[in-house]
Amino acid sequence: MTRFLIVNADDFGQSPGVNRGIIEAHERGIVTSASLMVRWPAAAAAACLAGTHSDLSVGLHVDLCEHAYQEERWRAVYEVVPLDDGVAVDEEVHRQLAAFRRLLDRDPTHLDSHQHVHRNEPVRSILAGVADELNIPLRHFSPAIHYCGGFYGQTGTGQPRPECISVESLLTTLAGLPEGFTELACHPGLPEQRETMYGSERAREIETLCDPHVRAALAGLAIELRSFASLGKEVR
């Protein structure tokens, strides 16, 4: 059985702490790719870091909104455009793609969205069209790439689940990977002053992703690390 693993860090460019955490998890750990949020002030710094880490694949993390679980319901923290307005979504997606190209002087190696909003229409069709045009994978909708989102330190209502980002949990996940290509999503980052919905979990993720037992397990299980840039045309 041949198994390949892409370890993709979301939220690249969201803040200096996230940028540093992703680079640390790439240099010392198993992160091979990252998804860039171009709207945030730290996006330019992330692009500079990507320029000095040529083996880190960088995709576009389309950022249309963010929700947090408060008072027993999900509430919008911000909304860039209404998600049900196809024209506005299409214009914003292409604005962010143009910003990505300005920052990195190239196309993204893959495409996904903040909080997975592209799983629903009309965002789904719009991002699928961009992915087809660029011949790059779109998270959840590239048949040759299995998506694994279990490495996340919170429940569906934002409650802490530190056991899900432990070394033991990750080793169990690796042992159960299917044949072929898998994308494992992660959210590493270093502590910061600002309060975020996913804070202390980011530092814990770095520890796990950089733990030597994890890399040893990859070797023992004959799982090869790959990046989105290294995918063959038939996989894209």
| pLDDT score of 74 | 82
What stretch of H or E contains 69? strand 65-70
CB 49 within 8 A of CB 25: no
| pLDDT score of 235 | 67
SS percent in the chain: helix, strand, coil, step 5: 40, 25, 40
pTM of structure:
0.95
| pLDDT score of 115 | 95
Assigned CATH class of 3-230: alpha beta
| pLDDT score of 192 | 81
For 26, what's the count of Cα atoms within 13 Å in the CB-facing half-sphere?
27
| pLDDT score of 73 | 83
| pLDDT score of 199 | 83
| pLDDT score of 233 | 60
| pLDDT score of 231 | 87
| pLDDT score of 106 | 97
Cα–Cα distance, 61 to 145 (Å, whole number): 17
Coil, helix or strand at residue 6: strand
Which stretches of the chain drop beneath a pLDDT of 70? 1, 193, 232-236
- In tens, the pLDDT along 44-74 reads 999 999 999 999 999 999 999 998 877 778 8
| pLDDT score of 167 | 98
Nearest alpha-carbon partner for 113 in 135, 150, 81, 154: 81
- 122 preceded by a cis bond (ω within 30 of 0): yes
Q: Tokens at residue 4, please?
A: 């390949």
Helices (H), ranges, the chain: 16-27, 43-51, 86-104, 123-134, 167-175, 200-209, 212-220
